[in-house]
Chains A and B, each alone.
Chain A
Amino acid sequence: MTKIGDIKDETKSAGVIVKVVAIKEKEYESERGKGTYFYGIIGDETGTLPFTAWVLPSTVRVGDVVELKNCSVRKYNERLRLYVDSRSEVILRPEDVMEVKRTYRDYKVRSLNLNDSYVSVTGLITQVSRSTYEKDGIQKEVISGQFTDDTGTVRISSFGPELKDGMKVQISGARVQEYRGRLRLSINENSAIAGADFPTPEVPLYRISEVDRGISGIEVTGICVAVGDRSGLTMRCSQCRRRVDDGSCEEHPDAEKTLDLYATFTLEDGTASIQCNTGKDVTSTLTGISVDGKEFNQVEIESVHSGIKNKLLGRPFLVRGEASVTDQGTSLRAESIVEIDVETLKRIRAAMRMGID
């Protein structure tokens, strides 16, 4: 039997005794019909390895120790993975107890993905806040914050370890999750946190084609080539923030309507395009239009839309914000937007030079 730590290369015949650390099942459809396969993580006292099982006894659960014979090891996404198929043998070993040495791959924020859901990351903790939630009738605390490295920022939630503003940490065993197209990390008492030393990260400048996952704290540049027809003034439900331009909110008919200023526009940098949107404060700063405490007639509403178009169309901008990736495409919620000036050009030139020999 081979130890996980000794598996260094692809092989067609591997045998291991391992503990099932994580397991999920997924349905698939092929020419031969529908089926289910399993994937997850297995481990022993020397390390862990992802696995895919095309066949597996339905009795296998997380925590079980199993002997796997005649498996293959192949690379998937640049990482070795153990495959259990129809010629493999799976033997449950209910009497065995095994300690698993957890190993996590190092990731930068910009490379986080759901295919590798437990990772090691190094970064700066900021914007820490605390809140409580109830589980099984017991009040528990969750500490939330932002986790930043030199490639971007994601939200982090701790259900155990202490997080403080300004902490520079290396976290092993952080879980990667996704919510509404945005990636986030969560940690608990099984995650290991150690102090780390690195320069405070600067906000990274991305080419638009490089923005391919839901992370925040990034900047892109581009020329605005289109402004959404609905950019401008809009009425929203004060409770759910939905647009209610044509009447009252269906879900909250008695709720007040509030006036909002909003812009959506397309930015291109020659590598790709991205849909950006700005909320009231950023749009107000950009256009000089303030809506607080004011009322607008139809002519003024239309002039606000024209004002936004005149300010944005054809102009080059530096936009900082939070990207989200959904079925509808990639978009950027802008936290700030400034027109490109000589200083920005110097920064872009330096960034563009990187990677060209």
Chain B
Amino acid sequence: MIPGERRRREPSRWIFSRELKESTFLEESQDERIRPYIITPLGTRVKRVLFNGNITSMNVEEDATKAVISDPVGSFYVNVFNRDFSSAQKIVLDTHAVGDLVTVVGRVSSFRTDQGTLYFNVLPEYIFPTDENARSYWTLMAQSSAERKLVAIREAGKMEKPDALSLMKLGYTEDEAECALRSIKHYPGFDLNALREAIVGSGSSLQVSQSLTNAKGLILELIKGSSDPKGCKYDDIVSAMEKEGLDRGAVDEALNLLGTEGDIYEVSLKRFKAI
């Protein structure tokens, strides 16, 4: 760092677990004490990530807690140790349970096996409880960022001698242009199609998740507004929701979720009341 220059916090990268998992290149620093950057197949230069997802597995021990947190296309592996600055985050993570939705900011640590395979885990700096809107927002932004990089890589691939300025003239940011160049340099011949399909899929799962959130709200409102003392009829809910563009399957899923979350209960067969 230049004397007098303010140390700036390195912003986190919002990438899907799949992009990280498929990384095979590390950009080592000349200073061995400095953790290397991970260069992903999309050219993203990663040291810190921010992601959210459901905790799908947790192993709590006195010295460390290990958790698996799933995003729409895979899983991040999170390790937090009971030492130094990490102990506060261990306490936070230990208050959570499998199924909880969390946002994690953390540094990525890599380990290369003797066979050369790279494994990654995240050392959390912050863990926050989160909700569906935050999850949808993160997925949307991570998906948008990945899609733009994929298109930039495609455009760079069309150029005889790709350079950042030419890509920026096409409307990509400096960072996106540099990602495209790194992808071409470090992952020549890498088949990005599977990654592309997984990322596009994350968008549809996001939309399903959003329409489910909308359906839950509408159905709960309908049940609360019902004046039938025996409870709101299932058939009435289905026909009302069809007018909103929701099919029977979506209504069933939303009713199941509302029941699981304790917002409604089934008074008698196919009749519902709000709690």
Contacts and interface: CB of A to CB of B under 8 A. Distances in A.
B219 interface: no
A136 to B, nearest CB: 43
A316 B132 CA distance: 11
B173 A349 contact: no
A345 B131 CA distance: 14
Interface string B168-182: 000101010000000
Given A271-B175, A352-B141, A345 B126 contact: no
A340 B133 contact: yes
B183 to A, nearest CB: 17
Contact of A314 (B12, B129, B175): B129
A225 B12 contact: yes
B173 A316 contact: no
Contact of A223 (B137, B148, B151): B137
Main SS of the interface on chain A?
A: mixed
Interface in B116-136: 126, 128-130, 133-134, 136
A260 B142 CA distance: 37
Contacts of B272: none
B133 A225 contact: no
A231 interface: no
Interface in A310-334: 313-316, 328-329
Contacts of B126: 225, 313-314
Contacts of B59: none
Interface in B21-48: none
A355 B133 contact: no
Interface residues of A, number: 31
Given A209-B173, A314-B103, A329-B8, A225 B50 contact: yes
Nearest to A224: B128
A342 B214 contact: yes
B191 to A, nearest CB: 21
B12 A356 contact: no
A223 B12 CA distance: 11
Contact of A268 (B50, B140, B151): B50
The 9 residue pairs across chains A and B that have the minimum distance between CB atoms: A314-B128, A270-B14, A352-B144, A273-B11, A316-B137, A270-B141, A316-B134, A314-B103, A340-B137
10 contacts: A210-B173, A266-B9, A268-B12, A270-B14, A270-B145, A272-B11, A273-B11, A340-B133, A356-B148, A357-B151
